[in-house]
Structure 1
Amino acid sequence: MPNHPLVSVIIPTKNEERNIVRCLKSVKNQDYNLPAGRQGVEIIIIDNRSTDRTVELARQYTKKVIIAGHERSEQRNIGAKKAIGHYLLFLDADMQLTKTAISECLEITGKKTILAINEEATGKSFWSKALALEKRCYQKEAGFIHSARFFPRKDFLTLGGYDENLVAGEDWDLTGRFIKSGFTLMMTEKSYVIHHEPDLDLASLLKKEIYYIKNIKRYSQKNPKTFEYQKNPFYRLSIYLKSWSLLLPYPILTFGFIFYKFLVFILWKTIR
């Protein structure tokens, strides 16, 4: 790894005017400092023809705003090909990096290493809080729940990037291909991504799950063994049991996300 490597942060967008400024500010405010005159981070926006102010706002933070792509995987791959950084970091527009995220990634990365970044979800509604609590249970479960966001650019391109035929599970698929190629998946310990997911009611959340279930088929066919493990309810339950000390102070929220997962399980059985 070169001294003070350039990191390319790639963000696909589509009508994200509510989120994009917060995301870009968090990238600009990273504590990854380089000697005077050297750039440490480049930001690349790949926009899918937004009809709001996303592009206008993004151009206040980076000159690299490219109108291209139709799906998230295609947008990310376009960004990777345009990038000049030694490393690639992929974010969504509704995400926010904590200040030390990039520097911690560079501290712990090594040869044949890819990185997942811990995630904290936000939200004010009951269901948002319940599902945010569930996500906290997974913070040490890199590989089956979380997937990598931080890659060496050269190796990313060699492996072909994200599979553009996948609408769902494309991040797990890419992580799996890296691991099969001899890479080790590691995870940040101090830094994390804040995911500003919308406050949705139960019906809207289940509608999203139905969309996901209908579109995960290609991933499951491509990665059958991994997928069987990922969707196994007993695997999830084992994680919850290991996290009992985290869940104990929040019995109502815990019941909420377990009830939600039960409904999702019923949907899986019904739709598939």
Structure 2
Amino acid sequence: MSLSIVIPALNEARALPATLATLPKQAEVIVVDGNSSDDTARLARRWGATQITTPPGRARQMNAGAAAARGEYLLFLHADTLLPGQTARLVTTALQHHHWGRFDVSLQGRHPMLAVIGAMMNLRSRLTGIATGDQGLFMRRSAFMAVGGFPEQPLMEDIALSKRLKELGPPACLRQRVITSGRRWENHGVWRTIWLMWRLRFAYWRGAEPQRLAERYR
């Protein structure tokens, strides 16, 4: 199998089936459960995914999934994110010319600002060469190994990995979109969440400890 899809999950029984239904049949699928208290692990197995369990922590879970994967290419996907059609072809084609890449993203929800937020995330990613986990990060296994995988920190692990991967080359920025849930934005308030995320990113850029930022994020 040339493509392995790694999905870290924690109590995602509600969102996971829809995500699994969009995955390319030719890909290896690994769901890494962080000791969920709901049916996440059982649902993953029922859908035919390889299911492994680790202590919770998104970076730790994704690293464990990558270690278990057999594919030449790795795609890290949030449990509430839907992939576009022809994902396997898009990823494998992009990785013929790049070490890594990501998709554009659309945030799903009722609030009209979610479309603006998604557009700004995509623009910022193109300008900076930094991608987030919401955008479906993918890479060659060799690139993932070369940078040491995800740093096992409680927040901003995707930003940290992007910075490492940029040293190998710029990302492939695919215009095909993944659709990810805007539930956090709506549950916590869109404007409040925008302000919080910008403050956290600025603090991280200034060198703040990820553990302290994670406490503020919760």
Q: CA deviation at 1:179?
A: 1.3
Is 1:160–2:148 an aligned residue pair? yes
CA shift, 1:144, in A, is 4.9
**Would you say the 8 A contact 1:9–1:91 is kept in 2?**
yes
Q: CA deviation at 1:88?
A: 0.3
Match of 2:48 among 35, 40, 62: 62
Letter of the 1:132 counterpart: A
2:130, 2:163 within 8 Å by CA — same for their partners in 1? no
**Structure 1 residues 173 and 79, CA, compared in 2 at 3 Å: closer, same or farther?**
same
Distance 1:133 1:217 in 2: 23
Q: Which runs of 5+ in 2 are unaligned?
A: 209-218
Deviations 1:56-84 (A, max 9, x none): 11111234101103210110011111111
Identity %: 24
Q: Which has the larger radius of gyration?
A: 1
Alignment-derived partner of residue 82 in structure 2: 96
Alignment of 1:20 onto 2:3: no
What secondary structure, in the 3-state scheme, does the structure 1 residue paired with 2:37 have?
A: coil
**Contact 1:46–1:75 at 8 Å: present in 2 too?**
yes
The Cα of 1:109 is off from its aligned counterpart by: 2.0
Cα separation, 2, equivalents of 1:195 and 1:204: 15
Are residues 172 and 82 of structure 1, via their aligned partners in 2, closer, same or farther at CA, if it must alter by over 3 Å? same
Distance 1:160 1:144, change over 3 A: same
In the alignment, structure 1 segments of 5+ residues that lack a partner are 33-39, 223-272
Q: In the alignment, what sits opposite 2:119?
A: 136
The structural deviation recorded for 1:116 is: 1.1
Distance 1:204 1:133 in 2: 11
Check 1:92–1:60 CA distance in 2 against 1; reply closer, same or farther (3 A cut): same
Does residue 11 in structure 1 map to residue 7 in structure 2? Answer: yes
Once the two structures are superposed, the pairs formed by residues 1-272 of structure 1 within 5 Å of their partners are: 6-27=2-23, 30=24, 40-124=26-110, 126=111, 129-140=112-123, 141-142=125-126, 143-144=128-129, 146-147=131-132, 149-165=137-153, 167-180=154-167, 182-189=168-175, 191-198=176-183, 200-201=186-187, 203=189, 206=192, 210=196, 213=199, 217=203, 220-221=206-207
Aligned equivalents of 1:134 and 1:207: distance in 2?
11
TM-score (norm 2): 0.81
* Structure 1 position 103, deviation (Å): 1.2
Give the C-alpha shift of residue 186 in structure 1.
1.2
Amino acid across the alignment from 2:137: R
- The offset of 1:46, in angstroms, is 0.6
Equivalent in the alignment of 1:243: none
Alignment-derived partner of residue 246 in structure 1: none
Per the alignment, do residues 53 and 119 of structure 1 end up closer, same or farther by CA in structure 2, a change over 3 Å counting?
same
Query: Which letter does structure 2 place at the counterpart of 1:93?
Result: A
CA contact (8 A) 1:89 1:151 kept: yes
Q: How much has 1:89 moved relative to structure 2? A: 0.1
Could you say if the C-alpha distance between residues 139 and 216 of structure 1 is closer, same or farther in structure 2, counting changes exceeding 3 Å? Answer: closer
Instruction: Report the Cα distance in structure 1 between the residues aligned to 2:190 and 2:120, rounded to whole angstroms.
Output: 23
For 1:75 and 1:54, the matched residues in 2 are separated by 14
Q: Secondary structure at the match of 2:122?
A: coil
Aligned residue pairs total 203
CA gap of 1:63–1:131, structure 2 versus 1, over 3 A, is closer
